[in-house]
Amino acid sequence: MKPVCRTLLVIAMAVVGMPGHGQVFYYVEAGLASCPAVPTPTTVAPKTASRGIAVPGRIHVSCGFDQGSYTVTLNSTDPSATFSTKTFLVNFGRVVGDGAFAVTFSTVGVQTVSTTITSNMGSPAVKGQFVSPANQFNIVTR
């Protein structure tokens, strides 16, 4: 196989494999019929990720946020983690952009990713939160 073909194949496999390995946050709000049900907390083993390698992710909003403008900020227990797209704007129920992000961890060990929601321009606070089926990563050296 030619080097160019091999490189394209590796890139394609990485892109196809991203959703299963990445971080996905869904907005949920108890009592809001249009929202997904608030999941029951479960214990899930942390996903393994390599230090210095970006882990893809996405935020999804399919309900709530309909009364104004909000900023969603991603955070990590790894103080040296870097995010490609750390903040998102949600206006009247819609994420501005595609909601995609990537986090690159620097500290070995179990790390988490979380979100905070801030109301903009006097918008009322939302009553829900972002949840993820698995927000822990076991960061290892390459």
**Could you read off the pLDDT of 14-39 as tens digits, one per residue?**
333 334 457 899 999 988 888 887 77
CA angle centred on 40, ends 140 and 55, rounded to 5°? 25
Question: For residue 35, is it within any domain?
Answer: yes
Question: For residue 97, is it within any domain?
Answer: yes
Question: For residue 11, is it within any domain?
Answer: no
Q: In one letter, which amino acid is 42?
A: T
Using CA atoms, how far apart are residues 60 and 64, in angstroms rounded to an integer?
11
Using CA atoms, how far apart are residues 81 and 87, in angstroms rounded to an integer?
14
Strands 23-28 and 54-60: parallel
Question: For residue 15, is it within any domain?
Answer: no
Q: Give the length of the chain.
A: 142
Question: For residue 14, is it within any domain?
Answer: no
Q: How far is CA 66 from CA 22, 29, 84, in A?
A: 27, 12, 26
Q: Provide the domain count of the chain.
A: 1
CATH number of the domain encompassing residue 77? 2.60.40
Question: For residue 9, is it within any domain?
Answer: no
Q: What is the pLDDT of residue 69?
A: 97
pLDDT values of the chain reduced to their tens digit, one per residue, 142 residues: 433 333 222 223 333 333 445 789 999 998 888 888 777 766 778 999 999 999 999 999 999 999 999 999 999 999 999 999 999 999 999 999 999 999 999 999 999 999 999 999 999 999 999 998 878 999 999 7
For residue 61, the enclosing domain spans 22-140
Express as a percent the part of the chain with pLDDT over 70.
84
Is the distance from CB of 21 to CB of 50 less than 8 angstroms?
Answer: no
Question: For residue 70, is it within any domain?
Answer: yes
Using CA atoms, how far apart are residues 112 and 65, in angstroms rounded to an integer?
24
Question: For residue 59, is it within any domain?
Answer: yes
